[in-house]
A and B are shown apart, each in its own frame.
Chain A
Amino acid sequence: MIRAFLAALLLAIVTPALAQPGSAPTIPQSVLIQPGELAAALKSGPKPVILQVGFKIMYDEAHIPGALYAGPAGKDDGIAALKMAAASIDKGNQVVIYCGCCPWEHCPNIAAAWRTLKDLGFTQLKVLYIANNFGADWAEKGLPVVHG
């Protein structure tokens, strides 16, 4: 009982500290896209630009086909890398960002990436909703991935 309380307390302290600025649940529902929707869009029609805004080792393990690595947006150098990647993309293009490192509400990257691209003026921006992690919600559902 005491351990559970201490764990909850630590999570409450640690989560905001690791997930600055903002957190994934602050992203409006209207900009979210579900894994199945994105997978369908990749099969037909114009493909969006996809940016992975998480950690390099996870991108190297597996990522969505065509996705570009843009750096972990929860960190200053990750934001800088994201801005560099965004500089070559037309702001009117369809852009989808995703992370999937951790459960959605604990992701340290996705909200910062969304805010950065929104502030840069991207008008067709979508955020891939990954409830648990990229493994459970994408790769292990049989959706396409590439390695390396």
Chain B
Amino acid sequence: MKTALFAALIAFAPLPALAAMLAPGATAPDFTRAGLDGKPVSLSAARGKVVLLDFWASWCAPCIVELPHLADLKRRHAGRLEIIGVSMDDSKANTIDAMNRYPVDYPVLMGDLPLAKLYGGVLGLPEIYLIGRDGKVIKSWRGDFRGKELDSAIDGALRR
């Protein structure tokens, strides 16, 4: 009885805050989801390469702005940098429409609540993680897109 009461209190009590975004040095949690093309996409498959994990959505203007930049990064660092796009759209059709307008040559998958929670809660977009070859977070950004800062951090990660 006491256990049930305690569980109910935990479930319905307001929580002070979600855990914040993953800190530098934290291991980036692995995940596998089907990409928009139906093929499986997992973080662990990119181990050994620098990875950019981009949470975005079609309704987010700064996210759309970053897409051509990310596509260009992928081309410039081909074979050394992997990019995984995670769409936080409620509708897959909206994501596909955005991809048709702003095509990228890296895998994009539909995000979900468990995946967002793995990364501490995606409570604002865009949210980008730069992950090192060892699978640990190097740096993260949330909010307005900062292209030069991102470029510089990627260059640094590739030199490591």
Render A87-130 as a binary contact track against B, CB cut-off 8 A, 1 for contact: 00000000000001111001010000000000000000000000
Would you call A51 an interface residue if the criterion is a C-beta within 8 Å of the partner chain's C-beta atoms? no
Docked pose: A10 CA to B69 CA in angstroms: 11
In the docked arrangement, what's the CA distance between A19 and B148, Å?
Answer: 26
Question: Are B125's CB and A144's CB within 8 A?
Answer: no
Q: A135-B21, A135-B121, A135-B123 known; A18 and B61 CB under 8 Å?
A: yes
A85 at the interface (CB under 8 A from B): no
Residue tally, chain A, CB below 8 Å to B: 41
Residues of B close to A4: CB separation below 8 A: 147-148
Chain B residues, CB < 8 A from A144: 14-16
Contact partner, B147, options A7, A18, A72, Cβ 8 Å: A7
- B124 beta carbon closer than 8 Å to chain A: yes
A14 and B65 contacting across the interface, CB-CB below 8 Å: yes
Which B residues are in CB contact (< 8 Å) with A10?
64-65, 68
CA distance A136 to B144 in the complex (A): 12
Once A65-B14, A139-B121 are accepted as A-B contacts, the answer to whether A108 and B59 lie under 8 Å apart by CB is yes
A80 is an interface residue with CB less than 8 A from chain B: no
* B15 engages A145 (CB within 8 Å): yes
- Contacts A57-B113, A61-B121, A139-B123: A102 and B147 contacting too (C-beta < 8 A)? no
Contact B62 A133, beta carbon cutoff 8 Å: no
**Closest residue of chain B to A11, judged by CB?**
B65
A57 touching B116 in the complex, CB below 8 Å, given contacts A19-B61, A101-B59, A144-B16 = yes
Max chain B C-beta neighbours (<10 A), residue from A56, A102, A146: A102
Given contacts A57-B116, A72-B59, 14 further A-B contacts (CB under 8 A): A6-B68, A7-B68, A7-B145, A10-B68, A14-B65, A61-B121, A61-B122, A62-B121, A102-B61, A102-B143, A108-B59, A142-B16, A146-B12, A146-B14
Task: Name the 3 nearest CB pairs between A and B, nearest first.
Answer: A133-B124, A135-B123, A144-B14
A residues contacting B by CB (< 8 A) are 3-4, 6-7, 10-11, 14-15, 18-19, 55-58, 60-62, 65, 72, 74, 100-103, 106, 108, 132-136, 138-147
